[in-house]
Amino acid sequence: MKRTAVVTAGTAGIGLHTALGLAAAGFSVTVVGRDSERGARAVDRIDAVGPAASARFVAADLASLDEVRVLADRIASEHAASADALTVLVNNVGAMFPERRELDGVEASFVVNHLSPYLLTELLLPTLTAGAPSRIVNVTSGAVGVAKRVFDGVEPPGDYYGFHWYGRAKLANLAYTLDLAKRLEGTGVSVLAADPGGAATEMTNGTLTDPKIVSPALRLLWPLVRRKFERSTSGPASVAAKPSISAATDSALAGRTGVVVGAQASPVAPFRAATDPRLAKAVRRLSEHYAPLSAP
């Protein structure tokens, strides 16, 4: 029986290096992305390091909840029809937007960073439970620290600042991760978060150079803020993937759940706000409303 892993946004950046690490650990890896040529190149690279040489690419735009449902359905039915367990799901997709935009009427960073991984996870829970012991790894970010902690609606009040909106969506996802870990206790499905620290990737290269992404207060300090961004995102994606690889494979974490693996690839205390049960409840309400398990 093969041990299989799914890595979303796994054809470049931190996701590709996560997939390489999982393949080297013996997993048959499915990487998800939008661009099939890039997907094919990623599969060649992954097969070159993995003893199983059984990587594959599945196309899906994870900014579309309809495509997430189709993807989940495909993965679930393939596993139901085979003897192979789904052992690891790494929800690695993430995005930051300099300008506010909507996807099907919902602010985009909340969709990509939280609703999309939430929906994929919920739809794959029966498959992950059947494959237990299994692990869900949700990729978080230090940006949770700059989030407006208001979750009455899908968006906080006030003007749009991409970095803070990104941090808020990641905070929602971290609260969901810790909440889900409690919900799944005793099922054999562990739920972990992994903080990559920072890396030079398309995401960071494309957005962290624009002062519009931070609040006016931080904009006054822009040269300092920009230098901090540059320093914290100058490293390689191969290093930033280590927390996700560790969360997915480290035998010392076997049976542990609700753990946050920090940028040094070892467990750290979760960001305090994400442990607040009121925040988790508000996030659950928003998630169920804006990402129903069946298409509305």
Ligand X SMILES: NC(=O)c1ccc[n+]([C@@H]2O[C@H](COP(=O)([O-])OP(=O)(O)OC[C@H]3O[C@@H](n4cnc5c(N)ncnc54)[C@H](OP(=O)(O)O)[C@@H]3O)[C@@H](O)[C@H]2O)c1
Active site residues: 166
Which one of 3, 5, 6, 9 is in contact with ligand X (CB under 6 A)?
A: 9
Which one of 21, 33, 50, 267 is in contact with ligand X (CB under 6 A)?
A: 33
Distance CA 127, CA 91 (A): 15
CB of 62 to ligand X, least distance (A): 4
Q: Report if residue 136 touches ligand X, rule: CB under 6 A.
A: no
Distance CA 154, CA 104 (A): 13
Q: Which is nearer to ligand X, 13 or 162 (CB)?
A: 13
Q: Which is nearer to ligand X, 14 or 146 (CB)?
A: 14
Q: Which is nearer to ligand X, 85 or 136 (CB)?
A: 136
Distance CA 173, CA 291 (A): 13
* Interface of this chain with ligand X, residues 48 to 107, rule: CB under 6 A: 61-63, 92-95
Three-state SS at 33 = strand
Which one of 201, 246, 257, 287 is in contact with ligand X (CB under 6 A)?
A: 201
CB of 185 to ligand X, least distance (A): 25
CB of 58 to ligand X, least distance (A): 10
Q: Which is nearer to ligand X, 32 or 85 (CB)?
A: 32
Name residues whose C-beta falls within 8 Å of residue 249's C-beta, 6 or more positions apart in sequence.
21, 22, 25, 88
Q: What are the distances in angstroms from CA 296 to CA 59, 65, 208, 293? A: 23, 11, 35, 9
CB of 256 to ligand X, least distance (A): 22
Binding segment toward ligand X, per CB under 6 A, in 29-37, 44-52, 98-106, 119-127: 29-37
Which one of 4, 6, 13, 109 is in contact with ligand X (CB under 6 A)?
A: 13
Q: Report if residue 207 touches ligand X, rule: CB under 6 A.
A: no
Binding segment toward ligand X, per CB under 6 A, in 6-14, 70-78, 214-222, 266-274: 6-14
Sequence letter at residue 219: R
- Whether 103 and 115 have beta carbons less than 8 Å apart is answered as no
Q: Which is nearer to ligand X, 111 or 189 (CB)?
A: 111
Distance CA 181, CA 20 (A): 26
* DSSP conformation letters of 64-128: -HHHHHHHHHHHHHHHHHSS-EEEEEEE------SS--EETTEEHHHIIIIIHHHHHHHHHHHHH
Element (H, E) at 279: helix 277-290
Distance CA 281, CA 140 (A): 19
Residues binding ligand X (CB under 6 A) = 9-15, 32-35, 38, 61-63, 92-95, 139, 141, 196, 198-199, 201-204, 233, 237
